[in-house]
Structure 1
């Protein structure tokens, strides 16, 4: 069996255009992958088509060689764009392998380590950035059975804030804690916003609300800043979603400062992701992969997580998207009382619904502008 062609499909999700790939083989079997990247959907699509000549003619079973070719052989550092294109192709090959041997992908990754996956809700807090709005939305989320919620209370903040701006995020965190009670995990999203000093000030101030982690409080480019915050923060730090190669995780882990690692399989592919999970395991850490792209990304993460002994939490946006988005994949994967079961169908167990995809074309305004007021509404932007 060899790879013969790769197709791509764009979906106009209002707050982030989704990109999917379909890898074809000479035996009529195909696999699907995802390459979504905020603000760069068409760029990644172009990268897939520029890079596909490297893998056409290869066996989809040779995922290590495919990953190496797509990462090394171009001799250019395309960062997350290259990583997203690589992952779309490589994960589709895992789907083909599963179908070919009539097994779910997670069994090819080492087999089941968990009966089901505990999920945390994200994207649930659309609407006004007020404590009351967050309170009401959080109530509804826990009523669905979720025992963990993630949210960014910081608006369009960047680096430093005035005293007045510092107060509202803490009021929002307090409102959510009041809504969900003492036993629900609160995960505070930082979106790479702050300087070291501001991050540490917030970490100290949120301690009374007992957050489970403070995520990506400072930008990832200066690893020394993340390590400093992690070593001084009274709240556990989580990060890793921005990294696109093993070496970046190796640099982070050697400092023994961050022990909640949010690798992004969408930038790495499954082969590298599984290896990074092992690296984290060797450092007594846990993984909570970033899964904030499209619905196939969530399915891919689910297969990785169920096969990883040091899995901690699974991220879910799917419950809080537009209603029609349930039909993009067939069948739709459902969270039940805050937990996700992983399908035993071959491959990833899902297929693209091309008829539904055709109804929702790409739009350049579909991206998440995290440093603009009102981004929390996830409504897309006019152009």
Structure 2
């Protein structure tokens, strides 16, 4: 199973003949992609964005393909997933998880194109007519209540019915009294600006010690938030259930895990109410559907993490359409420059805070090489533990 079978009948996509990677620079971060070619002239793409290790992911993606995918049939997607995951024996952590996820995405793109159907038709079809999305990245400015309130109103005016933000600045482990008050004032200002009918999610970025996280439960209760996301580091996963039992609102998390094996303790301890696997980190469509099913068996909802490009947004919609316990999908698409959408021709548009049913074969997206050439990667780094990180290198 962990070697290419060249005697088995091949599907309509042909055999994988070549794999290449590309990177696109933006003012925020570099986006990474993989493009898989077959001997039938088809190409499939996937997103391999890593916020800080883009070059390493591209290198590993290409070497994994050389070792495990060349000559294979993209339709053998379960076997290919296992081959890439276990074939190197040492699994690869976050870099390996991103590489595997992008390659898995590309298989579904190839299968959809070969059959002439949207990728979601290959993952259980649709449970809904559209996927609701929430906006993130809208608050890249001064940590001032009036500034955040104005930006929140602008975002809702674009049709979004749900927002998420991190009000906590560079806080780590603890927040001093002034910072706690400032963070609470930001949440209050945003809630007042958007009114009671818009969902508001609060991000913790996995950085607070238990006493601070417990204090936040009390401080945030008046604002009717939809969830508090990753309030503590996952090195303290055994305390998540304790925090969750005390919380007056849902606790969410899981973006740091890359497959069902890493998720095992989260499920075993009932650590969260809502899991947040990333289609470009948690094993692609093949694995995230399994995670969603396990979550359903634990009475949990699914709200995919997606701090990636509009390609991952499109891929996540294809996956989410067939997940019965889907809650909502994250998107940073409103933060991005025009050239990102020019480089990713065919990504699904957001209309009134939702994304509708795709119709094109596969994911319906093509990478425009000329735009990539005009916007090479910048390899910049922003540190969310520094003051002003929320500006994301923007003035």
* TM-score bracket for the superposition, by shorter chain length: over 0.9
How many correspondences in the alignment?
380
Q: State yes or no: 1:17 paired with 2:52.
A: no
Quick one: structure 1 residues 24 and 289, their matched pair in 2 at CA, closer, same or farther if it must change by over 3 Å?
same
Task: Report the CA distance between 1:180 and its aligned residue.
Answer: 0.3
Give the aligned partner of residue 246 of structure 1.
260
- Pick from 58, 62, 74 the counterpart of residue 49 of structure 1: 62
Q: 1:39 aligns with which of 44, 52, 63?
A: 52
Alignment map for 1:54-65 (pairs within 5 Å): 54-65=68-79
Distance 2:383 2:25 in 1: 16
Q: Does 1:290 align with 2:305?
A: yes
For residues 368 and 230 of structure 1, what CA distance do their matches in structure 2 show? 30
> 2: CA distance between counterparts of 1:270 and 1:83?
13
Q: Secondary structure at the match of 1:21?
A: strand
Give me the whole-angstrom Cα distance separating, in 2, the residues matched to 1:171 and 1:24: 52
Q: Structure 2: how far apart are the matches of 1:342 and 1:155?
A: 37
Partners of 2:358 and 2:94 lie apart in 1 by 29
One of 95, 99, 107 as aligned partner of 1:85:
99
Aligned-residue offset at 1:374: 1.1
Aligned equivalents of 2:209, 2:347: Cα separation in 1: 40
Q: How much does 1:131 deviate?
A: 0.7
Q: Tell me which moved more, 352-361 or 185-194.
A: 352-361
User: Are the counterparts in 2 of residues 145 and 337 from structure 1 also a CA contact under 8 Å?
Assistant: yes
Contact 1:8–1:45 (8 Å) recurs in 2: yes
**Residue of 194, 197, 218 corresponding to 1:180:** 194
In the other structure, the counterpart of 1:128 is 142
Matches within 5 A, 1:80-119: 80-119=94-133
Which residue in 1 is equivalent to 2:318? 303
Inter-partner Cα distance in structure 1 for 2:75 and 2:151: 44
Q: Which residue matches 1:202?
A: 216
CA distance in 2, matches of 1:270, 1:368: 29
- Name the stretch that deviates more: 131-140 or 327-336: 327-336
CA displacement 1:110-134 (0-9 Å, x = unmatched):
0010111111110111111111110
Q: How far, CA to CA, are the matches of 1:353 and 1:191 in structure 2? A: 33
What is the SS of the residue equivalent to 2:235? coil
2:42 alignment counterpart: 29
Deviation at residue 185 of structure 1 after TM alignment:
0.6
Q: Is the contact made by 2:140 and 2:392 (CA closer than 8 Å) also made in structure 1?
A: yes
Segment drifting more, 248-257 vs 98-107: 248-257
CA distance in 2, matches of 1:6, 1:342: 29
**TM-score (normalizing by structure 1):** 0.96
Does residue 69 (structure 1) correspond to residue 78 (structure 2)? The answer is: no
Residue 257 (structure 1) shift: 4.0
1:231-262 deviation line (CA, Å, top 9, x unaligned): 22222100010001102223211223412110
What is the CA–CA distance in structure 2 between the aligned matches of 1:256 and 1:43, rounded to whole Å?
Answer: 34
In the aligned structure 2, how far is the partner of 1:44 from the partner of 1:257? 29
Distance (whole Å) between structure 1 residues aligned to residue 248 and residue 118 of structure 2:
40
Q: What is the distance in 1 between the residues matched to 2:236 and 2:176?
A: 24
Q: Is the 8 A contact 1:60 1:96 kept in 2?
A: yes
Matches of 1:253 and 1:141 in 2, distance apart? 34
Matched with 2:358 is 343
d(CA) in 1 for partners of 2:295 and 2:303? 11
Please say if 1:154 is aligned against 2:168. Answer: yes
Q: Distance in 2 between matches of 1:24 and 1:164?
A: 55
- CA-atom RMSD, angstroms? 1.3
Partner of 2:9: none
SS of 1:265's partner is coil
Tell me if the contact between 2:310 and 2:333 (Cα under 8 Å) persists in the aligned partners.
yes
CA shift, 1:323, in A, is 2.7
- What is the CA–CA distance in structure 1 between the aligned matches of 2:358 and 2:105, rounded to whole Å? 16
